[in-house]
Amino acid sequence: MRRGRAWLLLGLAVAGRPLAAQAPPDSAAADTTAPRPVRWYGAAAVAAGVTALIFVADEPVRQWAQEVRTPVTDDVARLLTHFGQPEVVLTVPAGMALVALLTGNDALLRSSGRVAGSFVVSFAATRVLKFGVGRARPFEEEGARSFHPFSEPDAALPSGHATAAFSLAASLSNEIGRWWATVPLYTLATGTAWARINDDKHWLGDVTLGAAVGITSAQVMTGRWTVFGLGTPQFLVAPDEVAVSMTVPFRLR
């Protein structure tokens, strides 16, 4: 019974913001915030720069994390890791969609699509980066500066769990739009990142870049940022189908 109530409360909370965003322009609840254009090369340069700086701390942080590692931290890490795994990241939007279909809430259904879309985009970006960079994992004992580009499909950089966790946290935070949701969501995502370091599966730089990829994916899918001038994805709900549309600007000379 408590789980059923939790799903209903999550559905109502997430539905609140999209409903307000669809209000008429003269409504006080209308969302007038325009998406922020993000120049991909600028964002990539910042992410690469920050990650490079953090690389300096990779070895010391790993050493410290393993020194303080105990059976208790392993148990906590085992729980927190779930927030970045498919059984949570995919079940949450699926549950939202189910509640939306049962209650006829089109706004909630579109929200579930954006949350799921954030994960799909971040997952694709992560797989490409992992294969292209090919960074060795800490437990392989090759050092923080060991890279094998285009040879390791499941390499360390970026952390897939951290990417998924921050994608879920950021997208749900954007949909709900309340601090009481944002704080615990990002706390859980940060805990997932810590868990990967505790388990010696990732370096600090891996989870940092994963967080950046996850948040960026969520910001784009929920319309906070635009990349390459692409319009915000729109989910069109009809009685017998759901479609996704996106505008692509171009100039005719």
Rounded to an integer, the average pLDDT of 39-66 is: 79
pLDDT over 50 (residue 24):
no
Domains of the chain: 36-229 (1.20.144)
pLDDT of res. 55:
85
pLDDT over 60 (residue 14):
no
Question: Rounded CA gap, 219 and 190, in Å?
Answer: 18
Q: What is the DSSP string of the chain?
A: -HHHHHHHHHHHHHHHHHHHHTS-TTSTT---PPPEEE-HHHHHHHHHHHHHHHHHHHHHHHHHHHHS--HHHHHHHHHHHGGGSHHHHTHHHHHHHHHHHHHT-HHHHHHHHHHHHHHHHHHHHHHHHHHHH-BPPGGGTS-TT-B-TTT-TT-SSSPHHHHHHHHHHHHHHHHH--HHHHHHHHHHHHHHHHHHHHTTS--HHHHHHHHHHHHHHHHHHTTSEEETTPPPPEEEEETTEEEEE--------
pLDDT over 70 (residue 250):
no
pLDDT of res. 151:
85
pLDDT of res. 192:
97
Provide φ and ψ at 234, rounded to 5°. -115, 130
Pick the closest to residue 156 from 166, 171, 146 (CA basis): 146
* Max avg pLDDT among 29-38, 41-50, 72-81, 218-227: 72-81
pLDDT digits (tens, 9 = 90+) for 73-127: 999 999 999 999 988 999 999 999 999 999 999 999 999 999 999 999 999 999 9
Q: Are strands 36-38 and 225-227 parallel, antiparallel or unpaired?
A: parallel
Rounded to an integer, the average pLDDT of 49-75 is: 91
pLDDT of res. 182:
95
pLDDT digits (tens, 9 = 90+) for 155-199: 999 999 999 999 999 999 999 999 999 999 999 999 999 999 999
pLDDT digits (tens, 9 = 90+) for 200-244: 999 999 999 999 999 999 988 887 665 555 555 555 545 555 455
pTM given for the model: 0.76
pLDDT of res. 42:
62
